[in-house]
């Protein structure tokens, strides 16, 4: 039997960092089978993800989800050539479930074990394609990478897909978290992004003048807590001055919030591109990329800057096992894998190694 090469290697990817239990089998960036079991219904009544409930649900669902992904791929477990897992960052109890399952499977199958950073994996989600679809060309590098999710809002310089370098990130709430909190204030369900988007489509984005935090000239960090507070005051009135408060249309609140939240991303993207004029493409990932206004803004910014825009399809923008498997496969192709001692970690190892020069 011939040895598998990077072009034929079947990589199983496992994801359990938050509230999605997911597994997928990929060959390179081709997804041959994938399953996602979402826990949204378990956390809805709490308005946010409850870590202990998430861990227990991952434990119950992990093996059925892996089996389903293997079945969808039309292979047997023994055909798998490597097992990758998102081992950081995330909820530690949730990560432990996926990491332990991945280690046990790799050990049992006698194949390499690879831990990947969940946030970095979002950056390759725009390269994934379904088994029948033709493989897209590799993205031109260097790229700017943007992750817009419920837990992260980060911007990267990507010279190598396996080693993105952080340029900036949120100093408080993530953009998706801001959508979720605004949804809770407006009495919409959890996760709140889709509900806010739907309501925003009926409102006037210029009805309220909401703040976009600017953390310094040329800086590409984000802050969403001030915006969130401004939305709260718009809905409830400023504490101590409730008497002056005038009722606002919830649709106008949603539309104005969405405009400001997206405006912060646009401004930082422009700054990052200006600071790195050799940027050839934009790699994007994270659940918030499902938002139509976000996608339109990113596409138009890329067109204006003359760079390629790699948006993931809606299937792969949210947490999934395929992006984990694809990034694991890239590391494997570079001859890298991890020891079974690799520990899950709640935080990412991202470091500021490129200072962002001030942009004009």
Give the residues lining the site for Zn ion (CB under 5 A).
149, 319
Best CA proximity match to 330, nearest among 13, 78, 24, 2: 13
261 or 275, CB closer to ligand KG4?
261
Q: Is 153 helix (H, G, I), strand (E, B) or coil?
A: strand
Residue 60 beta carbon to ligand KG4: minimum distance, rounded to whole angstroms: 20
* Whether 69 contacts 15, CB under 8 Å: no
The CA distance from 300 to 302, in Å, is 5
Strands 30-38 and 129-130 come out as parallel
Residue 74 beta carbon to ligand KG4: minimum distance, rounded to whole angstroms: 27
94 or 275, CB closer to ligand KG4?
94
Residue 149 beta carbon to Zn ion: minimum distance, rounded to whole angstroms: 4
258 or 337, CB closer to ligand KG4?
258
Residue 348 beta carbon to Zn ion: minimum distance, rounded to whole angstroms: 11
256 or 348, CB closer to Zn ion?
348
Residue 3 beta carbon to Zn ion: minimum distance, rounded to whole angstroms: 33
Instruction: Indicate which of Zn ion, ligand KG4, none lies near residue 291 (CB less than 5 to 8 Å, by partner kind).
Output: ligand KG4
144 or 147, CB closer to ligand KG4?
147
The CA distance from 337 to 95, in Å, is 18
* Whether 14 contacts 27, CB under 8 Å: no
Distances (CA, A) of 114 to 11, 80, 161, 347: 10, 13, 15, 17
Instruction: Indicate which of ligand KG4, Zn ion, none lies near residue 69 (CB less than 5 to 8 Å, by partner kind).
Output: none
* Whether 91 contacts 122, CB under 8 Å: no
Residue numbers at the binding site for ligand KG4 (CB under 6 A): 18, 149-151, 176-177, 179-180, 191-194, 197, 286-288, 290-291, 318-319
Q: Tell me how far apart the 2 most distant CA atoms of the chain are, in Å.
A: 79
């Amino acid at each position: 039997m011939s040895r598998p090469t990077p072009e034929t290697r079947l990589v199983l990817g496992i994801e359990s960092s938050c509230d999605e239990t997911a597994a997928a089998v990929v060959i390179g960036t081709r997804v041959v089978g994938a399953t996602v079991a979402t826990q949204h219904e378990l956390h809805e009544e709490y308005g946010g993800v409850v870590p202990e409930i998430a861990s227990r649900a991952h434990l119950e669902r992990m093996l059925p989800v892996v089996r389903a992904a293997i079945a969808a791929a039309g292979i047997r477990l023994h055909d798998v050539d490597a097992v990758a897992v998102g081992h950081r960052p995330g909820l530690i109890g949730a990560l432990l479930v996926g990491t332990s399952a991945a280690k046990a499977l790799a050990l049992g199958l006698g194949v390499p074990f690879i831990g990947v950073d969940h946030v970095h994996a979002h950056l390759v989600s725009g390269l994934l394609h379904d088994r029948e679809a033709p493989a897209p060309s590799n993205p031109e590098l260097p790229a700017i990478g943007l992750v817009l999710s419920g837990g992260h809002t980060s911007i990267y310089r990507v010279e190598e897909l396996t080693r993105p370098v952080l340029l900036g990130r949120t100093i408080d709430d993530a953009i998706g978290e801001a959508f979720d909190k605004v949804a809770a204030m407006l009495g919409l369900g959890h996760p709140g992004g889709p509900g806010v988007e739907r309501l925003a489509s009926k409102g006037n984005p210029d009805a309220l003048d909401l703040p976009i935090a600017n953390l310094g000239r040329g800086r590409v960090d984000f802050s969403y807590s001030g915006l969130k507070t401004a939305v709260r005051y718009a809905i409830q009135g400023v504490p101590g001055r409730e008497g002056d408060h005038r009722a606002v249309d919830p649709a106008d609140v949603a539309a104005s919030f969405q405009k400001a939240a997206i405006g912060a991303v646009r401004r930082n993207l422009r700054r990052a591109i200006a600071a790195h004029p050799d940027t050839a493409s934009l790699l994007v990932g994270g659940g918030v990329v499902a938002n139509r206004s976000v996608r339109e803004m990113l596409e138009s910014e890329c067109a204006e800057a003359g760079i390629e825009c790699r948006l993931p399809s809606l299937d792969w923008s949210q947490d999934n096992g395929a992006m984990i498997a694809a990034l694991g496969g890239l590391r494997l192709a570079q001859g890298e894998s991890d020891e079974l001692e690799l520990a899950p970690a709640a935080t990412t190892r991202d470091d500021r190694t490129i200072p962002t020069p001030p942009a004009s």
